């Protein structure tokens, strides 16, 4: 089981470099991450964008050996079209200097994008450092689905479980988060959690163990679960945290980055090829973690 991003890099190093197609290759922070991925032996870049601007950005880095090809594209639509065509030949798609909404709309295009019949969700991974033996914990969905219904939540869980299996977590423990650990008819997320937990118990959802509703403290702290008298295979030991809506996931993820300074990464799951849609504020270290996770899921 992979327990840290350092272990992930070491695991991927022996498997050869993956092609990383960057939409908007003019972005300097993205190029730094791409260079780091090359230095680790993980990837090599195909940059799609305005060639002159790309070359200026590369000159600021002082080297370009990590770039296999530069594909000229003037506007956003041309960049996206050419990048998606290229990624269909093999590799992963990485957001560079382009707006997230425009790229996501193209990825979801039914005719020429990377959409499948699966629900697409964002899987966020962070290093939980609270114990002596830290581990990677997954959280979803804080990036795509606004207020998922039960069927969408099941798809989000399945996508996260797929990533957990890639990380070597054979039977991940999934906690369905809410403000409380009891079912309250006035709190919709607790009802959804109760239904999904029962579905797991009836083998309608497999490959994992699910429990919920669970408040965050009960999901990640055995001490808190014990104090509240919660007996569960998941409580205090969660590998995957499922949030009730995008607001909760977005706030939770950014709190880990900006307050806790955790090592994090994330990727889209459910597309024809791995897609990395990072925030403009993400540093190159986060982008590198995202690249590594996407390469793992492409294998």
13, pLDDT greater than 90: no
Look up the pTM and report it: 0.94
Quick one: average pLDDT of 248-261? 96
DSSP H helices, the chain, are 5-13, 28-39, 51-61, 76-87, 100-107, 150-166, 188-201, 216-220, 222-227, 246-258, 284-298
Measured distance CA(159)–CA(235) in Å, rounded = 21
Token couple for 183 = 């079912």
Same fold, 5-116+271-298 and 121-258: no
Token couple for 120 = 């697409």
Superfamily of domain 121-258: Isopropylmalate Dehydrogenase (3.40.718.10)
Measured distance CA(97)–CA(292) in Å, rounded = 20
The pLDDT-based confidence of 14 (bands split at 50, 70, 90) is: confident
Q: How far is CA 173 from CA 38, 188, 219, in A?
A: 34, 22, 10
Q: Is the peptide bond before 141 cis (omega within 30 degrees of 0)?
A: yes
- Confidence at residue 68, expressed as pLDDT on a 0 to 100 scale: 96
Report residue 151 CA to chain centroid gap. Answer: 20
188, pLDDT greater than 80: yes
Q: Is the peptide bond before 299 cis (omega within 30 degrees of 0)?
A: no
Q: What is the pLDDT of residues 48-63, one digit of tens each?
A: 999 999 999 999 999 8
Q: Which fold has domain 5-116+271-298?
A: Rossmann fold (3.40.50)
Token couple for 192 = 């959804």
The pLDDT-based confidence of 213 (bands split at 50, 70, 90) is: very high
The pLDDT-based confidence of 282 (bands split at 50, 70, 90) is: confident
List the one residue out of 281, 219, 269 whose CA is nearest residue 244.
219
Q: Where are the domains of the chain?
A: 5-116+271-298, 121-258
The pLDDT-based confidence of 46 (bands split at 50, 70, 90) is: very high
CB contact set of 47 (below 8 Å; sequence gap of 6+): 22, 25, 31, 54, 67, 69, 70, 71, 96
């Amino acid at each position: 089981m992979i327990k840290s991003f350092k272990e992930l890099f070491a695991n991927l190093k022996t498997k050869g470099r993956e092609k990383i197609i960057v939409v908007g290759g003019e972005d300097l922070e993205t190029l730094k991450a791409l260079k780091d991925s090359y230095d680790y032996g993980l990837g090599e870049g195909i940059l799609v964008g305005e060639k002159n601007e790309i070359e200026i950005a590369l000159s600021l880095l002082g080297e370009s050996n990590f770039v296999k090809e530069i594909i000229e594209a003037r506007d956003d639509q041309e960049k996206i079209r050419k990048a998606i065509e290229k990624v269909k030949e093999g590799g992963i798609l990485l957001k560079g200097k382009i707006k997230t909404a425009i790229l996501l709309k193209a990825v979801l295009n039914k005719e020429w994008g990377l959409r499948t019949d699966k629900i697409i969700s964002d899987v966020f991974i962070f290093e939980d450092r609270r114990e002596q033996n830290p581990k990677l914990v997954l959280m979803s969905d804080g990036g795509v689905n606004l207020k998922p219904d039960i069927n969408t939540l099941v798809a989000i869980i399945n996508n996260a479980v797929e990533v957990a299996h890639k990380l070597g977590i054979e039977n991940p423990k999934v906690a369905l988060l809410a403000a409380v650990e009891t079912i309250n008819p006035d709190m919709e997320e607790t009802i959804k959690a109760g239904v999904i937990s029962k579905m797991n118990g009836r083998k309608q959802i497999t490959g994992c163990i699910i429990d919920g509703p669970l408040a965050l403290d009960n999901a990640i702290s055995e001490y808190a679960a014990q104090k509240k008298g919660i007996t569960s295979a998941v409580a205090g030991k969660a590998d995957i945290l499922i949030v009730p809506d995008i607001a909760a996931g977005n706030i939770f993820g950014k709190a880990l980055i900006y307050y806790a300074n955790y090592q994090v990464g994330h990727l889209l799951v459910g597309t024809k090829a791995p897609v990395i849609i990072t925030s403009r504020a993400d540093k190159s270290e986060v982008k590198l973690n995202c690249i590594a996770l996407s390469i793992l899921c492409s294998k």
